[in-house]
Amino acid sequence: MKREDHSKVWDRVYSGDRSFFGEEPSAFSRMCYDLMKKSNMKKVLELGCGHGRDCVFFASRGIEVETFDYSKVAVKIVTTHARRSGLRINAMVLDAKKGLPYPDATFDAAYSHMFFSMHFTVKELKFLFSEVKRVLKANGFHFFSVRSRKDRFYGKGKKIDDNVYDVSGFVLRFFAKEEIMDFMQGFKIIRIMEGEEEPASLYLIFSKKS
């Protein structure tokens, strides 16, 4: 499958199921929110919002959220929900590989849940991490989760690249713990945890712009 076709995959997913990942916020977002609250964060960037369960959770607790997704259908779901609920969420359709359209030092934190496990090359991932660093304020937080190689789908399906597999039409990258460090230039890791969110086995990374 060509890479440009994956937005269509997610459009079909969200057209068929507007709450594909469930209605409740992820456990990871709840953990991150506790730190956001303690640090009095006001403005957060979510990379890859999907149908919005986590950005809605943050916004419902008074945080202003800027977010984006590859899927036009997903962004429409989020935008409609935010408008009807009066939540401060600005969502746009964006191919993040082309860069993040925000000024330097805009956000108190960046958050993503499995976004970096999508179909990115190593070069693109390094660029994305540099972009996240750029748009974070001094000492801003970077919270993200990725699929680990302990995941039950690792090595399954069609191999696309090293540690990247097409699993039933979803192209996924799986990370080793030490590999995560390769992308963390300019960040100080606070903690890396292992976690589970059916059906994924994850690394949960809590870091800070250094």
CB 87 within 8 A of CB 67: no
CB 42 within 8 A of CB 23: no
Amino acid letter for position 11: D
The CA–CA distances, whole Å, from 183 to 73, 122, 130 equal 30, 9, 9
pLDDT tens profile 136-189? 999 999 999 999 999 999 999 999 999 999 988 889 999 999 999 999 999 999
pLDDT tens profile 100-126? 999 999 999 999 999 999 999 999 999
Q: How far is CA 47 from the centre of its chain?
A: 4
Amino acid letter for position 88: R
User: How far is Cα 192 from Cα 4, in angstroms, rounded to an integer?
Assistant: 32
pTM over 0.85: yes
What are the residues whose beta carbons fall under 8 Å from the beta carbon of 103, sequence distance 6 or more? 135
Can you give the pLDDT at residue 170? 86
Across the strands, what pairs with 173? 164
Q: Which residue has the tokens 């190689």?
A: 149
Across the strands, what pairs with 204? 145, 193
pLDDT tens profile 3-32? 445 555 545 555 544 444 457 899 999 999
